[in-house]
Structure 1
Amino acid sequence: MPHSEPTAPARARRPIERIGATVLREFVQAIVTGEYAAGQVLPTEAELTSEFGVSRTVIRETMKRLQEKGMITVAQGRGTHVQPITSWNVLDPLVLSTMIENDRTLGILDDLSVVRGALEAEMAGDAAASVDDRARLVLRERMDRMAGAVDESSVFREADVEFHLAVMDLADNALAANIARALILHAVHSDRYLGQDPTRAFELTLAEHQAVVDAIDAGDREGARAAMREHILGSWQRRRLPTDKRSQ
């Protein structure tokens, strides 16, 4: 029989996509935290390749994805410039989650709550304007699930989110719902956003949700808007963690 050469074992290595995702996360983190400040020119492609220990292809793909997120601009002969926060796609999942994770003064979460309050208030009003028996049943089911979970925080929080998503669906405003949905689904994974619940927090939340349901059930657009806005802003202020104002 002919002699066969031994086959060398395959080297274990990280998939290229995983390497690229890691480099991208590091860049987004660096821009969000100000390590790379707005207006700053990033190191050259060769320097970044050396720094991260990856190929030029990975660096080029990372720059392309950062451009898509509005975090950098690449100008031939002028380098790669970091963009200010006003240019970022803050609804991009990676950008938004990184901003929330690094929101030490809670300013981003304050703004997020204001935007949520405005959008969801309008959707609550729209839901009231077109309320029917099916909508009433949906909201009653969501309320019943929350009421049955006041002693199970994780289940209650999940039911709370489902209530808000149900109101969005009833409003039939796809654009507003997509924006608000992105905000709420990323925020609820942040310990800073969950904050610290005051005494009888879930009971307070139930009462505020009931006020929203009552207004929608009565077809009261203005009442539904006010109840939803007051709930979102009020519940955030109740659980908002204290911050050092000197760092703001």
Structure 2
Amino acid sequence: MTLNGLPHHRGGAEELARLLARALLAGHWQPGDAFPRELDLCTHFTVSRNQVRNALASLTATGLIERTAGRGTVVRAVTDWHLLDPLMSEWMVGLADPDPQLVREIFAFRYSAEPVVAGLAAEAAAAADLERLEAAFQGMTRTASEPAARGLHAEYDVAFHDAIYLASHNLVWRQMGHLLRPSIIALIESSQAHVHQEHESLDDSLARHGRVLEAIRRRDSAAAERAAREVLRRTAIDLGIVDAPAIPHPDPKESP
């Protein structure tokens, strides 16, 4: 993959690093691919060698690329990317079409972790947390039937999940929610239309979110875990993280 198609660069090394990182996160280059040489980057973006080296240093520090003397620069495997690095979170903001493998890895983590966080939220949520969850859910409800409000609906959806992490009142989980927020936004925005149009109605999605809210409100941690897992299950099936439920077949021995 060449540098063709990448947007024009404006700014210094930080902006160049952001541009290149977002291209990597979107799959412009695949793991194992050779990354453009310093000279090619200088020529294409009309920047100094120093700017290029500083930008590449940021990509190296976050695990996106590996630079080896005599071998050049190659794109590292997604499993080597430092997804919780603050720089990575910043680069993920507004990324409309993240790499499919990246989407799957992040969602697999959420599918494992978020139900646990919901259970903690049921035990620890204060009045302000419940108000925050309720406000996000009401916003989702108001915008569900308005096709023109799909972007706003996604914002309320993200706010709902934000509120779950905050309601856990656990410092590490709250920080994890903050770091994951850009990737959650990207996942919701990129999958929302697909999920809603092909697999489930918005009413069903709202009902699942509503059950999470009610379980947290009742302080029922086990129910909150189950409900949060059901919110995520449809996308987890789509991404191959969990198997779809088997469809029962009639016993041929049984008479009609």
State the Cα distance separating 1:27 from its structure 2 match: 6.7
State the Cα distance separating 1:61 from its structure 2 match: 1.8
| Equivalent-residue separation in structure 2 for 1:97 and 1:126 (angstroms) | 27
Deviations 1:87-110 (A, max 9, x none): 22234147647987253xx44433
| Equivalent-residue separation in structure 2 for 1:96 and 1:121 (angstroms) | 23
| TM-score computed with the length of structure 1 as normaliser | 0.70
Q: Which residue of 2 aligns with 1:54?
A: 47
Q: Which residue of 2 aligns with 1:146?
A: 140
Cα distance change, pair 64–136 in 1 and its aligned pair in 2 (3 A): closer
Q: Which residue of 2 aligns with 1:220?
A: 220
Q: Which residue of 2 aligns with 1:168?
A: 165
Count of residues paired in the alignment? 221
8 Å CA contact retained: 1:23, 1:52: no
Where does the alignment leave 5 or more consecutive residues of structure 2 unmatched? 1-8, 240-256
Q: Radius of gyration: which is bigger? A: 1
Give the % identical residues: 22
* AA matched with 1:216: I
Question: 2:108 pairs with 101, 110, 114, which one?
Answer: 114
Deviations 1:145-166 (A, max 9, x none): 3333332243333222222211
1:232 counterpart = 2:232: yes
Deviations 1:103-142 (A, max 9, x none): 3xx4443333322222221211111112344443433333
* AA matched with 2:19: R
Q: Which residue of 2 aligns with 1:244?
A: none
Question: Runs of 4 or more off by more than 6 Å in structure 1?
Answer: 97-100
| TM-score computed with the length of structure 2 as normaliser | 0.68
Cα distance change, pair 226–55 in 1 and its aligned pair in 2 (3 A): same
> Secondary structure at 1:210's aligned position in 2?
helix
1:197 counterpart = 2:176: no
Where does the alignment leave 5 or more consecutive residues of structure 1 unmatched? 1-13, 242-248
State the Cα RMSD in Å.
Answer: 3.6
8 Å CA contact retained: 2:78, 2:102: no
> Secondary structure at 2:66's aligned position in 1?
strand
| Equivalent-residue separation in structure 2 for 1:160 and 1:30 (angstroms) | 27
Taking the TM superposition and a 5 Å limit, the aligned residue runs for 1:10-89 are 16-17=11-12, 21-22=15-16, 25-26=19-20, 29=23, 33=27, 35=29, 37-38=31-32, 40=34, 43=37, 45-46=38-39, 48-50=41-43, 52-75=45-68, 79-89=72-82
8 Å CA contact retained: 2:25, 2:98: no
Q: Which residue of 2 aligns with 1:129?
A: 123
